[in-house]
Amino acid sequence: MTTSIRLRMILAMDLLVVAVGVVVGVLAIRSAGREIERKLVLEAVSNAASLIRESNLPLASDALLQRVGRVLGAEVASGPVDAARIDASSLDSTRRHQLEVALAHKSPPVDVSLAGKSYRIASTVVSTRAGAHAVPNSRLYVLVAQERIDAATRTAARDIALATLGAIAAATVLAVVLSFTISRPITRLAQRMDELARQTQAAPMGADAPPANAAAAVGRHSPAELAHLARSFDRLMGQLAQARGEIARSAGLASLGKLAASVAHELRNPLSGIRMNAQVLAEEQQRSDRPDPSVDLIIREIDRIDLYLQEMLALAASGRTEAPATTGSPVRLDELADAVVELVAGRARHAGVEIERSYDPSAPPALADANRIRQVVLNLLLNALEATPRGGRVTLAVEPCGQAAVRFSVRDSGGGVREGLDVFEPFVSTREEGAGLGLYICRQIVQAGGGRIGYDSTPAGATFWIELPREA
């Protein structure tokens, strides 16, 4: 059978107080008994001797010793120092004789029984004077009834027992309070863990895990160890949520890789036929001396698409989630951007969006893979056109970026990017119909070429930019 922490603390505290109380109580009662005996017997005889000595009272007077006995609450007797004889006392004749018999056996005895009643005896030598003459020394005896000592001892023991019971009660109350300060945060932490387990189990794979907030559950005034445990639990849950997201993304990318490989393989066959027919058409136009630049553009774009599909096949076959690193060659980003603008010019006119170009003549060529960066520029421009409302404007810019990079940017006049949204993560899109892979692939391509990609967003629009190494 398991018991709660609260009950264990209460029992442990009470047992400790009881054990300590019993030990201390026994020692205290013994000490109190000795102290009571000392005060009632030893101090009594000492005080009586001092009174008689200072007042020079006669010890041979029964009446005097009876009065002293009433003051002390004890029996008093006196006799010679060197004989077992009682000259005067507050005792009756029977007890007086019994005392003389006891003194004859042991002088002076510690305790004695007179007429069936037990007494504790203390004695001292007293010297007095009669005028100018010294009286021979006498021994003063004080007999305190044992029942009086026992009654005083019982009273002290009762007081000690009551104090011990009060300490046990106070310890119980303290244990209850302390147990609540420990058990309550633990209970709240356990309830929060159970709730998180249910929520996590019910959440689909890839969904954001609920925040742990264990530190808030245990409260600010919980013990330091529990607060540390709650913070550690929060960190652990955060790491588990991150790992869960990584697993979900990896699973999605793996499925996407298989789909991409299948789609790429199926697209390459019709693309080959289209390119072949476009090549034949271009050759016929050359023979008839009527070349059409659009046919050459179709062939170049088919080659670029074919190269892109080859990379997708290679990426899916290798199981990697990032684009392979590339070595760049000099690329004029302004010329590459102009070529991309020609591709989307018709789409921009149809959408009612103006494309503006702002190229810095001093911008040097970038070191990059032209075909891959062309794909990035096209993706960024298409996203800008879709984000810009009719009548808006998209601005392309190329400019130097420090001493080691060239910057290309696309600024739209849409509503900006929602705060807290990482648009470069896979399957994250600002459009309901978007797959959420375009910017992810752009980031892989740019980073594989040693560059950087990012964006700046305001309510008036967003600016996406890439920075590539410049030609030395």
Question: Which run of H or E residues covers position 170?
Answer: helix 146-202
Judgement on whether residues 304 and 402 belong to the same structural domain of the protein: no
For position 410, what pLDDT does the model report? 95
Is the predicted pLDDT of residue 435 greater than 90, yes or no? no
In a domain, 97, yes or no: yes
Judgement on whether residues 99 and 33 belong to the same structural domain of the protein: yes
Is the predicted pLDDT of residue 209 greater than 70, yes or no? no
- Paired strand residues for 111: 120
In a domain, 230, yes or no: no
Residue type, 471: E
Q: What CATH number corresponds to the domain at position 109?
A: 3.30.450
In a domain, 305, yes or no: yes
In a domain, 221, yes or no: no
Is the predicted pLDDT of residue 194 greater than 70, yes or no? yes
Judgement on whether residues 20 and 157 belong to the same structural domain of the protein: yes
Q: Write down which residue in 127, 161, 195 finishes a domain.
A: 161
Provide DSSP, 49-101: HHHHHHHT--TT-HHHHHHHHHHHTSEEEEEETTSS--SEESS-HHHHHHHHH
Judgement on whether residues 145 and 265 belong to the same structural domain of the protein: no
Instruction: State the total domains in the chain.
Output: 3
Q: Which of these, 310, 391, 321, 403, lies nearest to 362 by C-alpha position?
A: 403
Residue corresponding to tokens 């298989």: 258
For position 208, what pLDDT does the model report? 56
Is the predicted pLDDT of residue 307 greater than 70, yes or no? no
pLDDT tier at 318, thresholds 50, 70, 90: very low
Is residue 347 within 8 A of residue 423, CB to CB? The reply is: no
Judgement on whether residues 395 and 267 belong to the same structural domain of the protein: no
Judgement on whether residues 313 and 333 belong to the same structural domain of the protein: no
Q: What CATH number corresponds to the domain at position 458?
A: 3.30.565.10
Mean pLDDT, residues 402-409:
92
Interior/surface letters 367-385, b for 16+ CB within 10 angstroms, e for the rest: bbbbbbbbbbbbbbbbbbb
Q: Which tens digit of pLDDT belongs to each residue from 103-142?
A: 888 766 688 888 888 988 888 888 765 555 555 678 888 8
- Paired strand residues for 367: 330
Q: Of the ranges 59-63, 111-115, 133-137, 391-395, which one carries the lowest mean pLDDT score?
A: 133-137
The SS3 call for residue 294 is: helix
Judgement on whether residues 30 and 96 belong to the same structural domain of the protein: yes
Is the predicted pLDDT of residue 12 greater than 70, yes or no? yes
DSSP label at residue 403: T
Judgement on whether residues 308 and 345 belong to the same structural domain of the protein: no
Higher pLDDT, 177 or 365: 365
Residue corresponding to tokens 């005889």: 45
Is the predicted pLDDT of residue 160 greater than 70, yes or no? yes
Judgement on whether residues 361 and 463 belong to the same structural domain of the protein: yes
CA–CA separation, 116 and 292 (whole Å) = 145
Mean pLDDT, residues 50-78:
82
- 418 φ, ψ to 5°? -60, 135
Is the predicted pLDDT of residue 153 greater than 70, yes or no? yes
Judgement on whether residues 343 and 428 belong to the same structural domain of the protein: yes
Q: Which tens digit of pLDDT belongs to each residue from 231-281?
A: 777 777 777 777 777 777 677 666 666 666 677 667 767 877 787 887 778
Q: Write down which residue in 116, 136, 161 finishes a domain.
A: 161
- Paired strand residues for 461: 458
Q: What is the dihedral of CA 43, 46, 50, 52, to 10 degrees?
A: 110
In a domain, 180, yes or no: no
- Enter the pTM of the model: 0.45
For position 203, what pLDDT does the model report? 61
CA–CA separation, 276 and 299 (whole Å) = 9
Is the predicted pLDDT of residue 359 greater than 90, yes or no? yes
Q: Which of these, 142, 48, 125, lies nearest to 82 by C-alpha position?
A: 125
Please give the residue range of the domain that contains residue 414. 329-469
Distance between start and end Cα atoms, the chain: 78
Judgement on whether residues 397 and 432 belong to the same structural domain of the protein: yes
Q: What CATH number corresponds to the domain at position 297?
A: 1.10.287
Question: Which residue pairs, CB below 8 angstroms and at least 24 apart, start in 443-448?
Answer: 444/321, 444/322, 444/323, 445/323, 445/369, 445/372, 445/373, 445/375, 445/376, 446/373, 446/376, 447/322, 447/323, 448/322, 448/323, 448/324, 448/325, 448/326, 448/372
Q: Of the ranges 29-43, 48-62, 199-213, 429-443, which one carries the lowest mean pLDDT score?
A: 199-213
Q: Write down which residue in 122, 143, 161 finishes a domain.
A: 161
In a domain, 190, yes or no: no
Strand order in the sheet with 111-114: 88-89, 75-80, 138-145, 117-126, 111-114
In a domain, 17, yes or no: yes
In a domain, 394, yes or no: yes
Judgement on whether residues 350 and 264 belong to the same structural domain of the protein: no
Q: Which tens digit of pLDDT belongs to each residue from 27-58?
A: 877 787 777 777 777 887 887 788 777 777 77
Mean pLDDT, residues 301-323:
61
